[in-house]
Amino acid sequence: MKHRYLGSSGLKISEIAYGNWLTHGSQVESEAATACVHAALDAGITTFDTADVYANTVAETVLGEALAGQRRESFEIFTKVYWPTGPQGPNDVGLSRKHIMESINGSLRRLGTEYVDLYQAHRYDTETPLEETMQAFADVVRQGKALYIGVSEWTADQLRAGHALAKDLGVQLISNQPQYSMLWRVIEGEVVPASRELGVSQIVWSPIAQGVLTGKYRPGEQPPAGSRATDDKGGAKMIERFMNDDVLGAVQGLRPVAEELGLSMAQLAIAWVLQNDNVAAAIIGASRPEQVHENVKASGVEIPPGLMARIDEVLGDVVVRDPAMTERTAPAKRPV
């Protein structure tokens, strides 16, 4: 397993991180989830990403229990705050000082740790002054409850404003967590250039496009039983934008590229995002330990420029590149 620096900090993280969105506490039973976490540790993954909203806080509990007994200094735990949790009262959402302070305490309790390595704003809160949010994050860091701060799916302008405030407050905003894959490249035009300028890394989610880039979904065919595209707990909705024959047909054209490199389709997809030097880590999920063992083989893979160009040719215009999609897919106001 290779490790990379996160932003301009001295923190190193595994370039493949383990995340438990849409799995722990919902799709996967706790015993299987623990087996996947242990498989990640065995494979050299040191970075674990979660959020309080995943399975309405249950995912944090499952991850904490799976990591119990391990040497805390040997791995990095990331979590997030913004989306509604608990009974979803008026202050159970957003990036107000009240919600941040209450949420970090709940996350630490569920994770069974005194601190998280990275505390992330899960989205931008249009209803809270940014100064209030960043002051609260700075106080969380000064209290020793988080070592660094990050954000998720912020625009380039939002990153610049947040980074400037964090710097003034003496804390390090070092990461952004966006969706990024061969099919979804909206960060490349504006977010990545701004991040390079600021010393911010990307920790990317859905590098396999919710499973589409594995090639298991074929044009004109029904999704395999038990796959994410058939999941009624959130998986099917997240994947629907890619479930059309144009995209699925183009993805099948990647098979010769994967074969030439001696990789599976999933390994190719993960290796592809890691070719971007602004990406510190690709987050993978798993419902079985075998998936972890297979996906970590993407670490350290170098894709020659000629094959990178061929990937672009194969996918053509099915790739989404519009930088405006970062803001367009974000909540315009708090969800409750």
Domain ranges of the chain: 3-328
Identify the burial level of 114 via C-beta atoms within 10 angstroms of its C-beta, where 0-12 means exposed, 13-18 middle and 19 or more buried: exposed
pTM value is 0.95
- Lowest average pLDDT, out of 18-27, 149-158, 186-195, goes to 18-27
In this structure, what are the phi and psi dihedrals at residue 84, rounded to the nearest 5 degrees? -60, 140
Is the CATH number 3.20.20.100 carried by domain 3-328? yes
pLDDT tens, position by position, 173-218:
999 999 999 999 999 999 999 999 999 999 999 999 999 999 999 9
DSSP state of 24: B
Confidence band for 283, pLDDT divided at 50, 70 and 90: very high
CB 71 within 8 A of CB 319: no
Give the pairing type, strands 12-14 and 3-5.
Answer: antiparallel
Mean pLDDT of the chain: 94
CB 66 within 8 A of CB 38: yes
Contacts of residue 311, Cβ cutoff 8 Å, sequence gap at least 6: 182, 254, 257, 272, 303
Give the pairing type, strands 146-151 and 16-19.
Answer: unpaired
- CA 279/CA 201 separation, integer angstroms: 6
Residue 320 tokens, joined: 């989404």
- Catalytic residue set: 54
- Lowest average pLDDT, out of 19-33, 44-58, 150-164, 251-265, goes to 19-33
Residue 129 has pLDDT above 80, yes or no: yes
Residue 231 has pLDDT above 90, yes or no: no
